[in-house]
Structure 1
Amino acid sequence: MIGVNDNDSPPAAERSEAEGRATTAALIRLLDLERLEDNLFRGVSPENSTMRVFGGQVAAQALTAAGRTVPPDRRVHSLHAYFLRPGDPRVPIVFDVDRTRDGQSFTTRRVIAIQHGKPIFTLSSSFQLDQPGVDHSDPMPVVPRPETLPTFAERMQAAPQPAGLGRVPRPFDVRYVNDPPWASDAEPRSEVRNQVWFRSFGALPDDQLLHVCMLAYLSDLTLLDSILATHGLGWSTSRLSLASLDHAMWFHRPIRVDDWVLYDTHSPSASGSRGLAMGHFFAADGAMLATVVQEGLVRVGVAPA
């Protein structure tokens, strides 16, 4: 028998980088929807998807479908969406685009995502020609640089986490500024800021719609964490049920997700088994890129409906 020399195996960092590039490439393929008709598109889910389609995925795919019906000189500046039913990852999703309005400066689209003959998600989005105007934004919070922070894999190794979390594909290099929910001391904290750096693994094409849709994807990855942190909850909390209910985003400036992006989120309110989370995306140079608001279902100690 020929032995295996461990020195011949790629270092863990190289393996992680290669795996990350593969998951980024897989997300790009996920957003490359099949066009069925002028206003009909079809998308699929990853083969290793869990019990329901990830909310960021269906939002990013719906925005892609809308963008494919808009002239390239018009950039998306806002979206408003509702999650109606859990998506089934085993079957394709059909995206039906309504060309609501084509104005001189603005273009509006509505998208219905359909599975099993029923809508699972709706999205309204508005696109605008690039136009000059006044320009200001709030400053970026002072946080450590991403290069000084542990990688997601290092975080996973340093703290216990729910079974299966490490097997979820991560299309982005994720660096938590704060302790992630599974590594917290489970102590309620007021005015919590949940802050995470993101960057795709490897350079991406110069396609602004792709960058914006990937930002929409990652906007749903950690947003509800700020609600959990405010109440000292973690993903391993007994009978914790989380689900996105609605989602809104405003895109302020051109975006590149293959450069470092800071996602700064907090939760101003929670009541009635619902929590509100808000966040801003900042480029590494401090420019505010986008704003997001989401209401999510947050049930503790109650069996899912």
Structure 2
Amino acid sequence: MALITLDDLLGCLQVRELRPGVWTAPSLEMDYPRVFGGQLLAQAVALGAATTEGKTVKSLSCLFPREARRDELLSFEVEETQTGRTFAVRRIRAGQQGKTVFVALLSMHVPEPETPPDLEHQDPAPEAAGPGEAVNVDLNMIPWTTRVVDGTDLRDRAAGPADYAFWTRVADRRLADDANTHQALLAHATDLTVVGTVLRPVEGISQADAGSKLHTAVTSHTMWFHRPFRIDDWCLVHQHSPTLGGGRGFGQGHAFDAGGALVASFAQECMIRPTVAS
């Protein structure tokens, strides 16, 4: 069962301006002391939308310098770095008790008219079983349908390839048509499974050991949106980790719509350290 509800997550996107340049938003209600990083990614998208007109997120690059506490108010300082007719830049700093917990740099873009076919290309979507053949799995922080390709279990401690893929779709409702809601929810979903993907090639260790044998935390996350999409239609999230070393893991991913169009890409660095017995 998911630890959060979609209604609560959508509520977290209702950002509110306290005074010029300073905003706030609620945190997800759950039995966990830390703010989930995916929530902050989604809220960064919402803040970009709230502080620009007629633009959507082209890219966001985020840092998580320290843990954010769920039971403390989040304050977002938004700097309107640049605003043009086509592009805009926003810098976001989230703080609690005077300390920085999150930093994001957003590039916003007015959607372009449809480009000629001879000015487009993309790598083909990976070969993967469709959502009807994938295994329905509860990915506790994603409160909508997720189906894992080949039923890969990130808690399995047997070594495997550093790859992971899942189909995802909000199936219980039709969401609003604004692109920012769909971008925010996909950004939230990309934060959850990279650490587990990084750990797959390590024999005897898995995501299940986070908090016991391992101390893990996301340190940075970058995302690019390439084409319009809807998260209430099927999307395939496919990710791979090329390296783990020096206490840091790295993963990359792409999201495709059901027709195979590449709609987004992301990259994440995470801290992965063995815990020290006290």
Between structures 1 and 2, the one with greater helix share: 1
RMSD over aligned CA atoms reads 2.1
Larger Rg: 1 or 2? 1
1:271 shift after superposition: 1.0
1:144 shift after superposition: 1.2
- Give the TM-score normalised by the residue count of structure 2: 0.90
Alignment correspondent of 1:107: 88
Alignment correspondent of 1:24: 6
1:66 shift after superposition: 2.1
1:303 shift after superposition: 5.8
Identity of aligned residues (%): 32
Amino acid at match of 2:170: S
Aligned pairs for 1:80-99 (under 5 A) are 80-99=61-80
SS of the aligned residue for 1:101 comes to strand
Alignment correspondent of 2:259: 285
Equivalent residue in structure 1 for 2:50, among 37, 44, 68: 68
Amino acid at match of 1:137: Q
> Do 1:30 and 1:44's aligned partners in 2 also have CA atoms closer than 8 Å?
yes
1:118 shift after superposition: 1.3
User: CA–CA distance in 2 between the matches of 1:280 and 1:150?
Assistant: 20
Residues 205 and 303 (structure 1), Cα distance of their counterparts in 2 relative to 1, 3 Å cut: farther
> Do 1:39 and 1:69's aligned partners in 2 also have CA atoms closer than 8 Å?
no
Alignment correspondent of 1:36: 18
SS of the aligned residue for 2:5 comes to helix
Deviations 1:279-303 (A, max 9, x none): 0001011000111011001113446
User: CA–CA distance in 2 between the matches of 1:69 and 1:229?
Assistant: 40
Q: Pick which of 170-179 and 295-304 moved more.
A: 295-304
Aligned pairs for 1:128-277 (under 5 A) are 128-131=109-112, 132=115, 134-153=119-138, 168=140, 170-178=142-150, 179-182=152-155, 184=156, 186-190=157-161, 192-201=162-171, 202-232=173-203, 233-237=205-209, 238-277=212-251
1:151 shift after superposition: 1.7
- Structure 2 gap segments, 5+ residues each: none
1:246 shift after superposition: 0.6
> Do 1:245 and 1:295's aligned partners in 2 also have CA atoms closer than 8 Å?
yes
SS of the aligned residue for 1:248 comes to strand
User: CA–CA distance in 1 between the matches of 2:14 and 2:129?
Assistant: 35
Alignment correspondent of 1:45: 27
Residues 208 and 194 (structure 1), Cα distance of their counterparts in 2 relative to 1, 3 Å cut: same
SS of the aligned residue for 1:270 comes to strand
User: CA–CA distance in 2 between the matches of 1:300 and 1:98?
Assistant: 38
Deviations 1:94-130 (A, max 9, x none): 1111000012321000000111111100000101122
- Structure 1 gap segments, 5+ residues each: 1-15, 154-165
